[in-house]
Amino acid sequence: MYGGRLRRDVDDPGRAVGDGPGADEYGDEEHDGRYPGGRYVGRPGSVPWRPGRVSRPRHPPARRAYRLGSPRRRLRVSIVLMCAVLSVLGLRLTQLQGFSASTYAAQAEAQRLRTIVLPAARGAITDRAGHTLAQYVELRAVYANPTNVRDIAGTAAKLAPVLDDSTEALRRRLTTDPAEHIKFVYLARGLTPDVAEKVSALGLRGIGITEERGRTYPSRELAANVIGFMRHGDGDILEGGGGLELAYDEVLRGTDGLRRLEANPAGIEIPSGQSREKDPIPGSSLRLTLERDIQWNAQNAIADAVRTSEADGGTAVVMDPRTGDILAMADAPQFDPNNITARDTPALGNRSTRDAYEPGSVNKVITMAAALDRGLITSETPMTIPPFITRGGVRIEDSEPHGVEHLTAAGVLARSSNIGTVEISERVGRIGLEQALRSFGLGARTGLNFPGEGAGLLPAARDWSGSQAATISYGQGMSATALQMASVYATIANGGVRVTPRLVDAITGPDGVVKVTPQPPGQRVVSAQTAATLTRMLEAVATNEGTAPLAEVPGYRVAGKTGTAKRPDPVHGGYQGYVPSFIGFAPADDPRVVVEIVLDNPKKGYFGGQVAAPVFQRVMSFALTTLGVPQPITRPAPLLLDLDR
């Protein structure tokens, strides 16, 4: 009979626990009447038996083992994963080949190709006769890619004697922070090609040579204040830093060329690689109006005068009054543009065009010109000169004390009388005097277009005080540059016609075509008769009757004027020291040369006739001789100056 159901032991699924008779604690053994399905069939007539508590097995059951999937399942998973990977790769390949091919090709080419700038030769600067004052030179620079230098100490030791540098200094330049990935550093610059070849011969890893723009000034300090200097600008490009180098930088610099070449990862050219090149176009050259020998003489003369008079500085200007050509423009102190140091900073620039000063008595010629041109005076007009006058509450005296004097207008100019000049200016009037000053070019730049050129200071007549209306007539209370004042005298020497000063005579292009710098038409300021009368009056200055006998040039007629101006004190206000000067031209009967000498704050002597006139004589004599100017055959009778004699 049926005795009940079997149940599975929860502790051991492989063991059957019966709830009917005949079930035994070991469910995995065979018993009579047990069917594989777990049902128990007892013998006929037997009584059903219910087992008691089942005892635990004597050994712990083994952990359940997990079986891997079937081979077919593993194959399916592998195929799916492989398809996914191939799909990703396919998409990436499609992106590279189809959408970004040109971008990545360009990047690859950029890594392989290297661009080298081929510097254009900068145009030369010469004097009027073609003597070179500035020229382009081929230079080299040694650089390093620190990431490619394996032996820093050894590389520095090999380079030191060739570059004339210390091993330690080179080692410091080669040692960089790896995190910054610096791949370019200069080791030496401005080298000659032969030094660069010696460096190349060393065959040092990570060391390279590149071309550099170079500029040299064969005559060193000669005309440095005019020519200017070079400096390293944006992108380390050599450019004009002052003077004509700056003013004509775009004309001189030319157009750089380019060279594209294949290089290995270290940046070294592959000899068999492709190369493309665009030739540089040289810059144009400047031919100046300067005359080298006259410039040299003027420079030495002004330097000697500054030294002997213990002046703070000085300047000399030499001009051709007929054309406005500047034959010399010299400053002291000077500098060497080949080797500029911190000490040279005050000397950089051009005093003649930059520094404005109160011109003093050299300005009296404009007051006289205004009166003569308006017919208010003649050279013989009698003038009574008292010991002093008062204007605007200011006492005005002459440089030397005197009693009442009786002079002609020519005598007022020859003796440089402040009192007589004020009285003549009052005949002209404020408005007339201002018009005359401006017509001669004061209060405005000359048109030279030189970097840093000043315009001086000339207040409007309506703003003049009572004393200023008087002092401006003899050059105090206003200011001008040396070039402006030289232009004033050039106007008189040129028959009353003012021409624009110029420094550049011609520009020669890279194709050899010469373009002469055009000269604007002159402007008449005073009549030819007024200019001639003024010239005769100025001749009396450079005689024993005038204030500058030391300005006389043997064999030539000289017309000129002294100036002894008070020097403004920029720190404490008022005046401190003097600015002596002399401006003149020769030969007076056919002017060919104008010379101006200005000294700033000399400590030994301060009258223009004492310290500036001798320098004028030295510079003018040399210029007339150098230019081959003939001496006059006749001399006119002297003018009447003093009515008391």
| Angle CA 519–521–524, to nearest 5 | 135
Q: Which H helix or E strand runs over 71? A: helix 71-94
Which residues share a beta bridge with 121?
A: none
CA angle 509, 513, 516 (to 5 degrees): 90
Q: Judging by DSSP bridges, how do beta strands 125-126 and 285-288 pair with one another?
A: parallel
CA–CA separation, 334 vs 224, rounded Å?
Answer: 7
Alpha carbon distances (Å) from 86 to 75, 79, 326, 560: 16, 10, 82, 99
Judge whether 410 and 641 are in contact, CB under 8 Å.
yes
> Are the CB atoms for 204 and 214 separated by under 8 Å?
no
User: Rounded to whole angstroms, how far apart are CA atoms 501 and 483?
Assistant: 8
What H or E segment, with its residue span, contains residue 187? strand 185-191
Pairing state of beta strands 132-144 and 313-319? unpaired
Which residues neighbour 83 within 8 Å (Cβ) at sequence distance 6 or greater?
Answer: none
Angstrom distance (rounded) from CA 184 to CA 168 = 19
Task: Quote the CA–CA distance of 547 and 604 in Å, as a whole number.
Answer: 18
Query: In 3-state terms, the chain is what percent helix, strand and coil (to 5)?
Result: 35, 25, 40
Q: Which residues contact 417 (CB under 8 A, 6 or more apart)?
A: 383, 385, 398, 405, 407, 411
- Which residue among 361, 473, 581, 621 is the active-site one? 361
d(CA 474, CA 360): 6
Residue type at 175? T
Q: Report the length, in residues, of the chain.
A: 645
C-alpha count within 13 angstroms, C-beta hemisphere, residue 180 = 9
| Residue recorded with tokens 């068999």 | 272
Q: Is 439 a catalytic residue?
A: no
Measured CA to CA, the distance from residue 449 to residue 222 in angstroms comes to: 21
d(C-alpha 271, C-alpha 262), whole Å = 8
Query: From CA 254, how far away is CA 123, in angstroms rounded?
Result: 8
Task: Give helix then strand counts, H and E, for the chain.
Answer: 18, 27
Query: Measured between alpha carbons, how far apart are the two ends of the chain, in Å?
Result: 181
Could you give the count of Cα atoms lying within 13 Å of 67 in the half-sphere of its Cβ?
4
Write the DSSP assignment of 448-500 as a string of letters. ---TT----B---GGG--HHHHHHGGGT-SSBEEHHHHHHHHHHHHTTTEE--
255-273: buried (b, 16+ CB within 10 Å) or exposed (e) per residue? eeeebebeeeeeeeeeeee
Any residues with CB less than 8 A from the CB of 465 and at least 6 apart, and which?
392
Structural contact between residues 184 and 210, judged by C-beta atoms closer than 8 angstroms: no
Spatial distance between the Cα atoms of 119 and 111, rounded to a whole number of angstroms? 23
- Residue positions annotated with a catalytic role: 361
